[in-house]
Amino acid sequence: MAEVLVFHHGHGLTAGVRAFAGRLRRAGHTVHAPDLFEGRSFDSLEEGMAHVGDIGFGTVVARGTAAAEGLPGELVLVGFSLGVLPAQKLAQTRPGAKGALLLEACVPVAEFGGAWPVDVPVQIHGMDADPFFAGEGDVDAARALVGTAADAELFLYPGDRHLFTDSSLPSYDERAAMEVDRRVLGFLDRIG
C-alpha cells in the first residue's frame, strides 16, 4: 500500500478533501492531509484565493514542503487545484517520490526545475471546459508533461466545473468524481 500526502485546494481543507483522503485510507493506504491554511476555510474560491494573495503562493508551497518533512521519502503526492503547487514541486524535486496525482491543475514542469523525473509516474485529471484548467493553460502544461514523461496520463472529463472532485462543494460532479476515484485507486494499487 502507498503512503500518500494530499494537499487541499483554495477553499481549504474541506469535508470533501477529507472524504477523499478517507476513501484512500479505507482502501488500505496511509494518508496525510495537512491544513495549509492553518485552520481557515472559505465559502468561495474567490475568498480563498484572496487569502492566498495575502499569505503568498510561496507560503503555500513552503507549508506543503514542510508537511512532507519527517514523512517517508517514498510518497505519492496528491494536489487539488492550488494544492497541485506543493504536490508537483515535491514530485519533481523530492528524492524518492513514488508518484503524483494532479487534480484540476498542472503547471509547466519548468516551474520546478526542468524535466519530469523519469521514475515518477503521474496522472492528471481535469474537465475539458473548466475555465481554470482548460482556460488558463493548465491543460496545455498537462499535455506537455504527458508528452515528455515516461509514465504519464491525462484524463479529461466532459464539463466546465472547477473542483468537481470535492463532494462538499456545489461544483461537485458525482459521475466524473467517481471515475477519478476509480483511476486514482488503480494508480495507487499499481505503484503502491
What is the domain extent for residue 21? 3-191
User: For 132-155, what is each residue's pLDDT tens digit?
Assistant: 999 999 999 999 999 999 999 999
State the pLDDT at residue 192: 74
Per residue in 34-87, pLDDT (tens digit) is: 999 999 999 999 998 999 899 999 999 999 999 999 999 899 999 999 999 999
Q: Considering its fold, how many domains does the chain have in total?
A: 1
Weakest-pLDDT range from 40-44, 97-101, 155-159: 40-44
154 strand-pairing partners: 124
CATH of the domain at 53: 3.40.50.1820
The answer to whether the predicted template modeling score (pTM) of the entire model surpasses 0.85 is: yes
| Spatial CB neighbours of 26, under 8 Å, sequence gap ≥ 6 | none
The pLDDT of residue 116 is: 95
| The pLDDT value given to residue 58 | 92
Q: Decide if pLDDT at 171 tops 80.
A: yes
Residue 114: the pLDDT is 79
Who contacts 191 (Cβ-Cβ below 8 Å, separation ≥6)? 2, 76, 98, 99, 121
Spatial CB neighbours of 179, under 8 Å, sequence gap ≥ 6: 155, 157
d(C-alpha 162, C-alpha 104), whole Å: 7
